[in-house]
Structure 1
């Protein structure tokens, strides 16, 4: 272990207990809990909470990939979306570190930025334990990656493609950005502007379902196209209500990169969480076979699918599905 890892152990126990009281974090055995002493161990650090659909699908794909491989997989939820303060996330990271110390995994896997920023970078960087990440948005070098003991899949979104499809039906060029108010989504906004030269006329960062609906209504008058990019941090999000609301109130084309938000968007060019979970599982198996993480190049997600919401389309006077598009149920 690195010196950072050893030094952190001194304060871990107290912080972990505090965090466990605050968040009731679950460390859940996944898949077949193998009794054999020869079974290898993998600990997955989920930056968010169980019930966050994107991450749950990543874990499911990881579990499926490791199934039947004599691997015991456990999951630790940092709950950083619902408890986003620096003190809460720091305490959760220390609790995760304590779990690593107790469980003694052969490989640690992670998803999303908080686990890398608050756990891997300060405590596991260049340590002896291998780390495989996914879900880091746009640029891993933000955290000094890659390290000697890490590899992973960087997550990118097809934002220019979504905008191009929306523009065909827009009355002007003003673009809006509607999302949960989180550090990760603000990071995404910055990279949209930096990488693609996108200028947003209006940005709407919201913290509740009611705020989301209010911002959606404002956007119908203030911009000509609207990107809808994340609601997992909204504690009272109600998809059924949002779907009815959007179908009644849409006046401009909207787009998303999440499949479960195609119900509230005209167009979806969606990423695949299963791709990321599979990649992490496959890289983990290679490492368990003796491959060094540094010998596995960083990757980017490539899979995607086009969706079209006919109910919103009819509201906007659009009747034809784009070529190769899948209709939203």
Structure 2
């Protein structure tokens, strides 16, 4: 683990490998994204990829759009493979779990010499047969234990939480499995893990849990629908459920969720995920064998606090804690 941590820090701190001038923007990269443009997590990953590769490679992005149209995932993956075959890229980036299950595993893993680099994967790497001779990358892990410890610093009397994310979603299922496994190590007791199919079901679950639970751990709502089948935006879903939860604290996992009204998070970074996968790709294009580019996981976390939510809850934050955190406001306020 110590070796992997040092490797991850080296990737983050060192500048991206420089290609020869004659090779500038000569490499072609296909980036298969699981979701859709405008989803904050995917936008962060794309930003990280572009930050590293924009002056070195021509990147073609392809969205599987599985949050809006999960039933079309296999068809979209087949279209992505047709693009791969015609494009003949020098390397492939594949973001989040649906891209692995629908695209990399059936079409690319051990089936091509083109190197593939994943990011944003919540499942265990072994689920997809990783590492493979042509596949490596970076896993995504929540900072749940650190988030609960952060909350305890500023609200020491809280004792229990429920976790809620949307149902009928591959990535959400992997996340809830991860959090169930890690929850015994949290500073708070788990009272339940919910993955409702609709926003109305989510609201009913929270109303039932609220009288006996101190904290809501809320994340990964993108694509949840109401009973009529209408898809709610990330912000709309958060606003609605935060209102249901009322004057009790809510913690999340990302800055964009804190800006939607959650009290706090220890953030994992989509930019970090995309940037590290892109740096791995550049190392491979320079000749480093994939066997020498191990699978890593995100290690860094940033404490983020919503000052409006803090004020609403009447919280006084100790000065030493203030020095460690990033303060944000609810978007639109």
- TM > 0.5: yes
Is the 2:92–2:115 Cα contact (8 Å) retained in structure 1?
A: yes
Q: Which residue of 2 aligns with 1:27?
A: none
Partner of 1:221: 211
The normalised TM-score by structure 2 is 0.79
Q: Distance in 2 between matches of 1:311 and 1:248?
A: 17
Cα 1:284–1:301 shift into 2, 3 Å: same
1:56 aligns with 2:43: yes
State whether residues 266 and 303 of structure 2, in contact with CA within 8 Å, keep that contact through their aligned partners in structure 1.
yes
Q: Does 1:42 align with 2:29?
A: yes
Q: Does 1:132 align with 2:117?
A: yes
Residue in structure 2 matching 1:79, options 36, 44, 65: 65
Matched, 1:175 2:127: no
Equivalents in 2 of 1:38, 1:68: separation in Å?
6
Bigger shift: residues 121-130 or 306-315: 306-315
Taking structure 1 as reference, are residues 275 and 38 closer, same or farther at Cα in structure 2, changes over 3 Å only?
closer
Cα separation, 1, equivalents of 2:236 and 2:103? 36
Pick closer, same or farther for the CA change 1:158–1:38 going to 2, 3 Å. Answer: closer
Name the CA shift for 1:281/1:134 in 2 (closer, same or farther; >3 Å).
same
Match of 2:171 in 1: 184
In structure 1, the residue corresponding to 2:113 is in which secondary structure? coil
Q: 1:268 to 1:41 in 2, by over 3 A?
A: same
Distance 1:280 1:208 in 2: 34
Q: 1:175–1:224: 8 Å Cα contact kept in structure 2?
A: yes
Residue from 180, 194, 204 that aligns with 2:194: 204
Count of aligned positions? 291
Indicate which of 246, 252, 259 corresponds to 1:250: 246
Confirm or deny: 8 A CA contact 2:36 2:63 kept in the other structure.
yes
Offset at residue 214 of structure 1 (A): 5.0
1:237 aligned onto 2:241: no
Superposition RMSD in Å: 2.6
Shift in CA distance, 99/115, structure 1 to aligned 2, threshold 3 Å: same
Q: After the TM superposition, which residues 1-329 of structure 1 pair with which residues of structure 2 at under 5 Å, given as runs?
A: 39-69=26-56, 71-85=57-71, 88-126=72-110, 127-167=112-152, 169=155, 173-181=159-167, 182-197=169-184, 200-208=190-198, 212-213=202-203, 215-234=205-224, 235-237=231-233, 239=235, 242-243=238-239, 246=242, 250-263=246-259, 264-320=261-317, 322-323=321-322, 324-329=324-329
Distance 1:201 1:272 in 2: 27
TM-score (norm 1): 0.80
Residue pair 2:176, 2:193 contacting (<8 A) in 1 also: no
* Shift of residue 278, structure 1, vs aligned partner: 1.1
Structure 1 residues 68-112: Cα deviation after superposition (integer angstroms, max 9, x where no partner) = 22x211000001111123xx2111111111110111111011100
Indicate if the aligned counterparts of 1:309 and 1:327 stay in contact, CA closer than 8 A.
yes
- Post-superposition offset of 1:37: 11
Sort the Cα spacing of 1:194 and 1:203 in 2 relative to 1 into closer, same or farther, 3 A.
closer
2:134 and 2:244 map into 1 onto residues whose CA distance is 51
Unaligned runs of 5+ in 1: 1-35
Contact between 2:33 and 2:99, CA under 8 Å: does it hold in 1? yes
Q: CA deviation at 1:45?
A: 0.3
Which range is displaced more, 96-105 or 259-268? 259-268
How far the C-alpha of 1:282 sits from its partner, in A, is 1.0
